[in-house]
Amino acid sequence: MNRSHNRSTDSLRDVSLQWDFQPGAAASLLIRMGGTHVLCGVSVEEKVPSFLKDSGRGWITAEYGMLPCATNSRYRREIGGRSGRTYEIQRLIGRSLRMMVDLKRIGERTLRVDCDVLNADGGTRTASITGGALALRLCLQRLVEQGKLEEMPGLLPVAAISVGIVEGEACLDLDYTEDSSAEVDANFVMSGDGRWIEIQSTAEGKPFSPEAFLSMTHLAEKGIKELFKLWV
């Protein structure tokens, strides 16, 4: 099959990072994965949600949004309240990022990761997780430099990628055209020690076989291991 960027079925799109894209954030980066560009900015709040008050634990949460002109047709701003899809995506991002660190090690503070999609060409939620995790690491490093944390807590790298079945073949890192025509669409989130954090997989036309799922899983593992090189 012919793929965008002349890729093979097991290839990622080109990935690049632009650090400190937002100087006003505690840490930020712009992650580009092909035509998908997501700005990930971290804010630090010296308080935690009420259910964690006096617990000695911190909190990591995420918000996700898409700019109106991120897609070919204008994406309507969610002014009156976020859609169910948006809530589902930001909960996924937050759950994934909380796997990175023991929350007792960050003190009673909230690290809020804002993921804003500037350009959407497939894989926006997985790019948000990969970029958000890297921005979060930089934020923690700076908290140590500022004396707000005594030492750098141990971190478990986190990254994510999309995989799908397109024209009967398992393909890594789907762009929008592939995603919109895929027979199966899946998102995989993995930790740096090779364990799965979350897998979302949906059949669009007909059920898929265990063999197809294993094929997608192997591709996801390969792609995410390549993304972990960004942590070096």
What CATH number did the domain enclosing 118 receive? 3.30.230.70
Q: In degrees rounded to 5, what are phi and psi of residue 81?
A: 145, 150
The pLDDT assigned to 191 comes to: 98
For residue 99, the SS3 value is coil
The predicted structure's pLDDT at residue 80: 65
Q: What is the pTM of this model?
A: 0.95
Q: How far apart are CA 122 and CA 132, in angstroms?
A: 17
- Residue-level pLDDT at 205: 81
Q: Which domain covers residue 74, as residue numbers?
A: 4-231
**pLDDT value, residue 104:** 96
Contact 60, 108 (CB under 8 A): no
10-residue mean pLDDT series, the chain (232 residues):
85 97 97 97 97 96 93 77 85 98 97 97 97 98 97 97 96 95 96 98 93 97 98 93
Count of domains forming the chain: 1
- CB environment 174-193: b (16+ within 10 A), e (fewer): bbbebbeebbbbbbbbbbbe
What are φ and ψ of residue 212, in 5° steps? Answer: -65, -40
Dihedral over Cα of 36, 83, 96, 163: its sign: negative
